[in-house]
Each structure stands twice: as C-alpha cells, then as structure tokens.
C-alpha cells in the first residue's frame, strides 16, 4: 500500500519536534555543526534506561521510556529503515525495531514474544518485574521561559521550606543533646570522667598521646629539615618498618576535606581520575598508591574518556608504571549515602582504604555523580536535568563506568568490589537480572558492609515518615527538583572544621540513631569532613518518598512480596520448631526451599559474583539479618555467599570507623578478596600481607 504523498514531510516534522523536546537547547545548531546538541537518537543502556545522544556525540541523562522510543521510531521512519544494526552504546542485541516500539505496546510486545517460543531473541524485550520500584523520572526538556519560571518557583519554595526542615532537625538534635550534656556535667561534679565508660577508653588515650608525640616530632624535625618517620604504636600492623611509609604531611590536623592530605599523613599518596558515565556525568575516581612503588599518571591521561564502558581496545592504562613491587590486585571501594569515598580514608592507618593499600592491594575509591563538584559533559548546575536521577542511574551508569576505568588502568579482567551502605544498594540493583547482570562478570567478589537492601526500624521515625506521607508534588515543592538541601554544602564551606564536625555528628546521630561510642573520639570531627555531598532531590525522594524504598521497605521487592516471604518463613519455622521432625515434615521443608518458583522470583541470575557480607547487628537504619535470611532460605539459588558475619554491637558506621574495625572487618575483607581472586591473577599478583596461607575459594 503506497504511503500518502505528505507522509515523509509530516514524519520529518514530528521527528524534529521530538528531537527538540529532548535536546540540550531548543534550535541549537551552530554554523559548522560541531556544537550541535540536538537530540538524534536514544541509546539503551538497559531495556529500561535510555539516554539521549546529541548530534555532536554528547550524552544527556535518562528520559521517560515512551519519549525515547518515540524518538527512535520517528528517526527510523525518516531514514526509511525498519531495523537498525547494533551500534556502540546500545544494549547488545538491541535493534532499531525494538527501539521504535511505543510505550503503550512495550508490554504487549514482550507478552507476545514470551508466548511465541520461536520468536527471535534479538527482538524480545524483557518485561521489568521490578519496574514499579523504580518509577520513571520526569521530563524537563530544554530551557524555555515557562520551564525556567517553574524551576525558579521550585528553587524559591524549596530554599525556604527545606531550610525550615533542616532547622527543625538541627533544633531536634540540640534538644536531644541537653539530657546527655547534664548527665556528663553530673558525672564530672562527682569527680569522675564521663568518657571512662567508653569501650575503648584506654586505647583512645594511648592513641591521643601518640598523635601528640607525632605532632611534636613533625614540628621539631621539620624545623631541622630532616625527614619524619612515623611513630610506631602497638596497634600498627606487624611487618611495617618504621620508615617503610614515610609521612609527607603532619603536625596538627587542620581538618580539611582532602583525601590526598590524609593519605600523605600515613605515607601514601593519591591521584584523581575523571570518569565519564554513559549518560554524560563526570565523576571522581581516586587512586591510593605507595609513592615508593608507583609513578603517578600525567594529567592528560587522568582526564575523562569516551562514555563507553569496557572498551575492546587493546590499549592498556597506567598499570605498567608499577615498579619492583609487582602487580597488585585492584580493589574498588564505593561509599554510602550523603558521603564521599573519603569516608574510607579518615581513620589514619585504621582506614579501610589505607589498610588494604598497605596490605598489598591496588586501591581505587569511586565517587557517585555530583559529589562535591557537580559536573556533566553538557549540563550546568542550574539545569534540572542535571539532578534527574536516583539509585537506578547510580547503579546502572556510575558503577559500570568506575569499574570499567579501573580495569582499563590496571589491565585486569576483574576486580574486588567493597561497598558500604548505599554503595551496596547500587550494586545490588545493578547486578539484578533485570538491570545490568553482565556486570557480575567483571567482579571477583562483592564485599557488602552494612548492606542496605531491607529497611530497618528507623524508617518509622516521625521526620522520615513525614517525607513519606507527602505527595510527590509536595515533596518537590519542599525539597526542589535540583540538589537536596544545598545549604548543607554551604555550611560545610563556611564553618570551621571542628565546629562543622561537632555539628555534623550531632545532626547525623539524631537522624540515624548512631553513637560514637566505638570511634576514636579524637578523630570524630575529621570523619564528617567528607560529608555531606551533593545528591539529587529525586534520589532522596526514591529513598524517603511515598512510592519507593520507604514504602516498599526493600530495594528489589514490593511490600506484598515481602509479606509473602514472611509467611513462608513463619511456616518453615513452624516445622523447624516441631518437637518431632518426621520424614513428612522434613520432606515439606526440602520441597519448600527447593521450589522452582523461588528461582523464578530470584533477583539474580548465574552471572552474579560471590557475595561476602558484614552485618551491623545494632543497625537501626537497615536490616542486614533479613538479607542473610533470604540467602539462607535459598531464595537466590545463584548467589554464593563466601563469607557472612553479624557483629552484634556494631552500628551502621562502625564497620568503617570503629576502633576495632580492622580486626573485625578489615582483616577479613583482605582475606576474602584474596581467596576469590581468579587463579590466573593469583599466579601473577603480589600476595597481600598475611595472606600466604589463604586457600583459593572453590566456587
């Protein structure tokens, strides 16, 4: 049947309008086309995560699925093609025909494909069962008078209301501190030291004396122009000579937000890489190294590369710059919510990053998008599209980009991944079989510290419940559509380090019910120099708003699915508690735990890497025990747990900052990382300290 004469011009006009709606700027074509940021196509990172590619090769963040599909459909019609071969940036196996499906027919198409066993796999779009947990993001479009006015309104309302909300939190923290203050005064009036009740009181005094000795030695020897050797103490790792790691910074701690400064205080150093995600964000990757063994890369090499992950190029990165130390196995550390990777570097030699580096690993610290300095290939701070992301984009875009760059720089096929809190969340999301499961082939082991998968009792607190009961529209009026309470970052830059550290501790303690009982109190103010960072209001809405985590109480399952799990567990527990386990009862339990239906409901497929979990037993923020129970009850048949531990007295941040965290977490992480290293890498890598007798894990 012949097409109407005016069909192609109409399609071309519709394509131009759709492209303009998704472009950086309206009518944005310069004379030579080199800076043309008009949208030309949608590239699918996953079947549910399209990003926009512009005419000049730039990337714009995710847009609603229907809008992306419509753009590609019109593009194909204009070009007169029914299907387009795979191109860089598309999901493997995804064709132009699939991208041309409109949103209304997406589920119908998937349903028809599943009913037809002979349908080509290349044209099958998997239906995302977890999609209700990740509502589509809004579409803001290019700047216009109306859009800019709306943004201004949101900025004004959120500036007032979010500041009022922050004020209430600060006042709440202040009032709850009053009883504690009077209790301390009472103890001192009785001529006793209130800190004597702290579990590491004697060790804290010892470390405080060592730090003072080091400060005096640094000042005295610097005045004489001599090198400064680190003062040894009882807790220092065996095997380190006094001058093996010579400090390059010292004296009184100025409390700065600078990882390199704290690395140099313990005889290490840091270089910063810029990494571009597949949706155009520029994020920070920090490399911790021993300056006696490694030559830093030139500045030009550390700039961001193309937004393509895991390139097939034979070109290698900077791993050839290692000297006689030999190859070291790479480890990537990812931080938690409202933090930066500096959280791994604030505890002197007991910092997990420095401990692993001195143990013989090649340590890399990954930061999520925006962080301390929001950067994007095309977008500016004021553009609402800069902040249009949540945990899904962090897992699907940020994590692969960071892993890809580390593997490129080191020349390895896999790395060890260590995450804390929200870092574990984005990893659990990214590895899900309906997100980006192939990422598991790049990870030798996933070490999850205080894993944030299920919500803890803290989610029911009044101020968090308030954020859950207000509507999405009201949430945006209160907290905006840009950065979440950016005044927190302003306070960070205005206040002196010690005042900011003390205030930060009181506020976060009030919000999240943790204490500093197990931390080195002399370093507490330093811990909070690396928090908070810029996060999007949309991301906080995912955590605390009415649709997602706070309501579902899980990152990958709905509340109804969780209730069904609870009923199954109660039934199984009933049989386990029976006085006599007859063969019928045992058969019931075996049949229930090996039910194929459980495999179909599993979050992960056979590409998932081994897991190791350290659960804080006194953590009110997340429920790690429930996650362990999910694995123990065989709900994830493909998950192999190589290590699990519940530390009963630990709170959420103790896995990083407790004075005994090296003994209870760090040494075990070091061992787990090494025993899961692929055999071909074990034969060529330097053996980490105290890992000579560690046998490889037989997975």
Residues with a catalytic annotation lie at: 421, 619, 652
Pick from 278, 406, 276: nearest CA to 332: 406
Cβ neighbours, 10 Å, residue 140: 18
If phi > 0 it is left, if psi is from -120 to 50 it is alpha, else beta; for residue 680 that is alpha
228 phi, psi to nearest 5 deg: -110, 125
Alpha-carbon distance values, 290 to 127, 176, 245, 272, 362 (Å): 48, 44, 8, 14, 9
Containing 42, the helix (H) or strand (E) segment is strand 39-46
By C-alpha distance, which of 545, 538, 550, 542 is closest to 459? 550
What does residue 175 show for φ and ψ, rounded to 5 degrees? -65, -40
**DSSP for 589-641, written as a single string:** HHHHHT-HHHHHT-S--TTPPPEEEEEETT-SSB-HHHHHHHHHTTS-TT--E
Report the phi/psi class of residue 360: left, alpha or beta, with left for phi > 0 and alpha for psi in -120 to 50. left
Residues in the chain: 699
CB atoms within 10 A of CB 218: 19
Structure-token match 């034979």, residue found? 314
Please give the Cα distance from 458 to 475 (Å, whole number): 20
CA distance 145 to 314: 48
Furthest-apart CA atoms within the chain: distance in Å: 98
The answer to whether 602 and 438 have CB atoms below 8 angstroms apart is: no
* Contact status, residue 414 vs residue 438, Cβ threshold 8 Å: no
> And the tokens for 53?
């590619």
Give the number of other CB atoms < 10 A from CB of residue 692. Answer: 8
The DSSP H or E segment spanning 53 is strand 49-54
Separation between Cα atoms, residue 484 and residue 172, nearest integer Å? 20
**What is the distance between the alpha carbons of residues 413 and 597, in angstroms, rounded to a whole number?**
34
Q: Which two tokens stand for residue 402?
A: 């960071």
Q: How many C-beta neighbours within 10 Å does residue 114 have?
A: 12
Contacts of 536 (CB under 8 A, 6+ apart): 370, 387, 388, 389, 390, 482, 483, 484
In which element (H, E) is residue 332 found? strand 330-334
**DSSP letter string over 510-539?**
HHH---STTB-GGGHHHHGGG---B-BHHH
């Amino acid at each position: 049947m012949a097409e109407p004469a005016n069909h192609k011009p109409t399609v071309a006009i519709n394509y131009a309008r759709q492209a303009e709606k998704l472009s950086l700027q309206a009518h944005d074509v310069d004379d030579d086309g080199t800076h043309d940021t008009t949208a030309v196509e949608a590239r699918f990172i996953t079947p549910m995560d399209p990003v926009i590619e512009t005419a000049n090769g730039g990337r714009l963040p995710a847009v609603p699925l229907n809008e992306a599909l419509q753009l590609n459909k019109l593009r194909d019609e204009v070009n007169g093609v029914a299907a387009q071969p795979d191109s860089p940036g598309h999901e493997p196996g995804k064709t132009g025909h699939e991208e041309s499906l409109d949103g209304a027919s997406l589920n119908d198409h998937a349903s028809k494909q599943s009913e037809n066993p002979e349908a080509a796999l290349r044209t099958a779009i998997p239906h995302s069962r977890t999609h209700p947990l990740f509502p589509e993001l809004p579409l803001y479009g290019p700047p216009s008078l109306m859009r800019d006015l709306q943004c201004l309104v949101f900025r004004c309302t959120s500036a007032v209301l979010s500041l009022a909300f922050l004020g209430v939190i600060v006042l709440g923290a202040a009032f709850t501190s009053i009883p504690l203050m009077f209790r301390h005064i009472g103890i001192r009036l009785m001529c006793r030291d209130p800190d004597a009740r702290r579990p590491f009181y004697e060790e804290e005094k010892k470390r405080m004396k060592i730090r003072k000795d080091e400060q005096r030695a640094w000042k005295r020897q610097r005045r004489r122009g001599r090198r400064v050797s680190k003062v040894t103490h009882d807790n220092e790792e065996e095997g380190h000579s006094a001058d093996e790691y010579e400090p390059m910074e010292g004296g009184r701690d100025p409390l700065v937000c600078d990882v390199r400064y704290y690395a140099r205080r313990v005889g290490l150093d840091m270089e910063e890489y810029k990494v571009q995600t597949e949706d155009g964000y520029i994020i920070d990757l920090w490399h911790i190294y021993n300056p006696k063994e490694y030559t830093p890369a030139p500045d030009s090499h550390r700039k961001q590369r193309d937004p393509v992950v895991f390139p097939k190029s034979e070109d290698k990165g900077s791993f050839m710059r290692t000297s006689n130390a030999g190859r070291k196995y790479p480890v990537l550390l990812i931080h938690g919510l409202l933090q930066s990777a500096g959280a791994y570097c604030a505890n002197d030699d007991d910092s997990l990053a420095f401990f692993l580096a001195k143990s013989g690993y090649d340590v890399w610290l990954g930061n999520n998008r925006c962080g301390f300095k929001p950067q994007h290939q095309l977008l500016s701070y004021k553009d609402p599209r800069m902040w249009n992301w949540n945990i899904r984009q962090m897992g699907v875009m940020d994590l692969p980009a960071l892993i890809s760059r580390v593997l490129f720089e080191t020349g390895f096929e896999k790395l060890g991944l260590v995450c804390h809190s929200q870092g574990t969340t984005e990893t659990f999301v990214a590895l899900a079989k309906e997100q980006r499961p192939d990422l598991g082939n790049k990870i030798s082991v996933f070490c999850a510290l205080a894993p944030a998968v299920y919500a803890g009792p803290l989610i029911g607190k009044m101020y968090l419940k308030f954020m859950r009961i207000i509507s999405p529209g009201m949430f945006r009026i209160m907290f905006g559509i840009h950065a979440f309470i950016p005044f927190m970052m302003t306070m960070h830059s205005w206040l002196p380090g010690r005042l900011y550290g003390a205030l930060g501790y009181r506020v976060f303690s009030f919000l999240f019910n943790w204490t500093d009982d197990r931390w080195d109190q002399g370093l507490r103010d330093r811990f909070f120099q690396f928090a908070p960072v810029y996060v999007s209001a949309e991301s906080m809405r995912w955590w605390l708003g009415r649709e997602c985590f706070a309501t579902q109480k899980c990152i990958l399952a709905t509340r109804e699915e969780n209730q069904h799990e609870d009923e199954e567990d109660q039934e199984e527990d009933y049989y386990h508690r029976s006085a006599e386990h007859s063969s019928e009862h045992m058969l019931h339990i075996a049949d229930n735990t090996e039910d194929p239906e459980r495999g179909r409901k599993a979050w992960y497929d056979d590409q998932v890497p081994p897991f190791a979990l350290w659960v804080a037993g006194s953590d009110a923020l997340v429920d790690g025990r429930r996650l362990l129970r999910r694995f123990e009850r065989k709900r994830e048949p493909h998950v192999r747990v190589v290590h699990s531990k519940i530390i009963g007295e630990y709170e959420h941040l103790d896995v990083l900052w407790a004075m005994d965290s090296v003994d209870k977490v760090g040494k075990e992480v070091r061992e787990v990382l090494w025993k899961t290293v692929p055999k071909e890498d074990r034969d060529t890598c330097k053996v980490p300290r105290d890992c000579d007798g560690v046998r490889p894990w037989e997975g």
